[in-house]
Amino acid sequence: IDQFLPLPPASLLTVWTPPVTAKITVEPEPPNAAEGQDVLLRVRDVPGSPFLYEWFRGSILDSTQLIMSYKVESQTSTPGHAHSGRETVRADGSLLIRNSSEVQLWWEEPSQQSGAPQGNVLSVPGTAVLPKPHITSNNSDPVEHKDPVVLTCEPETQDTTYLWSIRGQSPPDGARLQLSPDNRTLTLLRVTRNDTGPYVCETRNPASAQRSDPLALNVLCCPQIHTARARPRVPLRPKGTTLTLDPGLVVTSCPGKARPAQPEPRRGGDGLPLGRGLGVHEL
């Protein structure tokens, strides 16, 4: 179980006991071990008074794959060829593995034969601790009612459950929201100003659970076009009178026969004498 000895798909425990009919069980503690954790393979319901425990790599009795043996009467442990220095057999036959890596084991009913050891093969899923996820977006500044947005929970890991929350709630059912089959990708078909978030993705496996930092979208609203409302025409005054304009109006004057000069806009409140021509425009 170290870097020099690749881990086989199973480990075998043999318990030497008198020939009796019994059911031996082995329970991993914790049942879902993460890489780097200590794992105890606890032996239970051992019939009679066993005098020897042996743990092997693999699922067959192979002396070259012996991890460790334990003699009950003398309470002595003897490491085998497959011992990595991190395994210990306890007095009850349980095997302690320190700083375990990916342990792949399984449990089967022991075969009961007179005068033969009882072989017990067990399973401890080795699960890696998940890294902290983060959310990526194909468009962080979508236009309202126009752009779709695809949010992805990164990184992709095996045997992982992906969950999403929007403003602390599960995504609502609707035609505008779509989840990929593995729940890793959340698609908003047409965003609205109510879709800013924040969005959080969560990853889970039997050994750990992690949450991403929240992500908010900057939804851009479509520009609004305003139609100017024309004001009523200003009646002309007799020659020589003064016209006072409301704010927001521009007055331009030019001689009737001369070539029009460049307009000189002035704002309301000023008294202006009327010329031969008068134009009033709304700002």
Residue range 252-261, pLDDT digits in tens: 444 444 454 4
- In this prediction, residue 182 has a pLDDT band, given cuts at 50, 70 and 90, of very high
Q: Which two tokens stand for residue 76?
A: 């002595």
Q: Is the whole-model pTM more than 0.85?
A: no
Q: Best-predicted range by mean pLDDT among 29-43, 112-126, 185-199? A: 185-199
Task: Give percent helix, percent strand, percent coil of the chain, each to the nearest 5.
Answer: 0, 35, 60
Q: How many residues does the chain have?
A: 283
Average pLDDT over residues 260-273: 50
Task: Identify the weakest region by mean pLDDT among 11-20, 145-154, 156-165, 182-191.
Answer: 11-20
- In this prediction, residue 246 has a pLDDT band, given cuts at 50, 70 and 90, of low
Considering only residues 137 and 58, tell me which one the structure prediction assigns the higher pLDDT.
137
In the predicted model, is pLDDT for residue 55 greater than 80? yes
From first CA to last CA, the distance across the chain in angstroms is: 83
Give the model's pLDDT for residue 149: 92
In the predicted model, is pLDDT for residue 234 greater than 70? no
84-to-28, 57, 95, 145, 174 alpha-carbon distances in Å: 19, 11, 13, 62, 55
Long-range contact pairs involving 82-91 (C-beta distance under 8 Å, separation at least 24): 82/5, 82/56, 82/57, 84/1, 84/2, 84/4, 84/5, 85/2, 86/1, 86/2, 87/1, 87/55, 89/53, 89/55
In the predicted model, is pLDDT for residue 283 greater than 90? no
